[in-house]
Amino acid sequence: MQLSPHLDALQNDLAAVAAISDTEAAELVQRISAALEASLRLRLLEAITEAAHELSPQLASGHVEVRLAGGDPSLVYVEDATSPPQSSGEEAFSARISLRLPEGLKATVEAAAGREGLSVNTWLVQAISRSIDPRPPRGTHLTGFARS
């Protein structure tokens, strides 16, 4: 996602507004908009990052990351590595449980498992494991580079 076209459009909008007045005001607006470009770029990156943070918890698995390449951000879906539940010697054998679900919930679970390409049993085990031992909140660190 390139930010430059959006920043250029904003500068053009400011120039169009400034063109209503005299040339001195237009030059002043041009200098101000050029000086604000770095700040505007940072604010756009913050908005994109906030959108990724809001989307990630809504995903059944995985999360959205904002990656910078050459100063331009890209949104990337990252699948969480699913690790099998930790089992001790006593838990090495499968335990069985009978679970009765309302038809509507059963259909929803089956659809969610199908979207992820998992069996209903595997999907339920992963969902229960995630809810019992949730990972720390995503987005607590930022990686990338910056240039001034």
Walk along the chain (148 residues) and give the pLDDT tens digit of each residue. Answer: 777 788 888 888 888 887 788 888 888 888 888 888 888 888 888 888 888 888 888 887 888 888 888 778 888 888 877 655 555 444 555 788 888 889 999 999 999 888 888 888 888 888 888 788 665 555 555 566 555 4
Same domain as 60, residue 22: yes
Number of structural domains, the chain?
2
Nearest to 12 by CA among 2, 1, 4: 4
Range of the domain at 29: 1-81
- b/e 79-117 (16+ beta carbons within 10 angstroms → b): eeeeeeeeeeeeeeeeeeeeeeeeeeeeeebeebbeebe
Same domain as 129, residue 60: no
What pLDDT sits at residue 104? 92
Q: Is residue 141 part of a domain?
A: no
Same domain as 54, residue 94: no
DSSP letter at 134 equals: P
Same domain as 76, residue 94: no
Same domain as 67, residue 108: no
Angle between helices 103-115 and 120-132 (to 10 degrees): 90
Q: Is residue 146 part of a domain?
A: no
Same domain as 95, residue 66: no
Same domain as 75, residue 28: yes
- Residues in contact with 33: Cβ distance below 8 Å, sequence separation at least 6, in sequence order: 10, 11, 14, 15
Q: Is residue 147 part of a domain?
A: no
Same domain as 103, residue 68: no
Same domain as 109, residue 52: no
What pLDDT sits at residue 23? 83
Sequence letter at residue 127:
A
Q: How far apart are CA 23 and CA 140, in angstroms?
A: 47
What pLDDT sits at residue 5? 81
Same domain as 75, residue 4: yes
What is the CA 139 to chain-centroid distance, rounded? 9
What's the pTM?
0.48
Same domain as 94, residue 38: no
Same domain as 99, residue 26: no
Q: Is residue 127 part of a domain?
A: yes
Q: Is residue 144 part of a domain?
A: no
